[in-house]
Structure 1
């Protein structure tokens, strides 16, 4: 006598969980490798994405149990990927959220909205709000940067015309032409500056008339720029920026919270 077998209704959900776990491990490993390749720490990624460090660690480790609902996990992966320069939507789109299958015969009677539970709609609503706030914040930051640039342009023109009254940098960082030892060899010896962030600050770097960088760098960041003739560095938080010229001892650009602009030029050749 054969006893009737009982169907396992939990098998599809277990299969979906396994797919999510395997995909998270794959995506997390890729993000970890790319972050280390770019020389970024988790603290710097936290400053860029505003995602708690424990969630970033869980993504890199592929630990699905320490992460929220799958729809949130996909959003976190998207932000993480965009912070590293990837296409966040395309990269996170491979993470499975739902594996619900619909019988083709019932397609005419089933609406996608009918399959969503109230709790799913609530999570989706919260996710859309978060995305909208992030987008609005980026638009406001871009508008502020454009306004700041438009205000600084007339000031720069006045400084170039009034050459008889050159501005001098603060005593905290004395900028001099590059030494004879560095410029006395081949023509076109580069001028080099090193910048280390004591606190998160906005910085703009212009090398030989070309803007090399403009944006906000998080605390602990270290960058190096070179130019053949002149380097110009401007910041809105002079006390939070340590700058070294030609590998000399680094000094603060000025007072904390104050705007400062410093120009470093190579020693002219006669």
Structure 2
């Protein structure tokens, strides 16, 4: 029995019309009719077809993974999951120089040294006028200001460079198929994220992610919680950062 026939028979056995199944899965009725005729051309590709087969199977009481496996066997097999480390190598770690406060002890020591030198010169018959150093408590010397400004500038440049890095964390509230690519289309991950599992991916400038079930995962982008990428049971595709068109 074909995949479409199996889905149609299970739907009727569950006492559901196509309209009722559409309401529960949020899949268009026309698309369900096509799938039950083994016509997957309207799905938009194997990735979305797997997602629809999985969601329909859950509602009508079939084993979702078994049905997806049957689909893969009839359509050339599923690509093996790719580890992020095999396609993405981060650049050398960016060392951010910490901005240090001016060294007031050194500034005071230099000023006192100047006063002592001119005092000795006066005692040895130098000029009657004793130059005084302008030392104000809490005021940094010119050299200390320069060092602090340079440190702040270096930290800003490093932070800007680090801002190109996109870090995406996905936690599965139920098992879901994901396909993750970097900004230029290199595959970072493709496979099933099991219920309760968490994965973290990172890429320069941005990444694109396709989800077979938009409500099955919870996301964090660069440490900020951004919630689910889409409605429950709906296959969606999202971009994060600035991926190349």
TM-score by length of 2: 0.35
The one of the two structures with greater contact order (alpha-carbon pairs below 8 A, sep at least 6) is: 2
TM-score by length of 1: 0.32
Bigger share in helix: 1
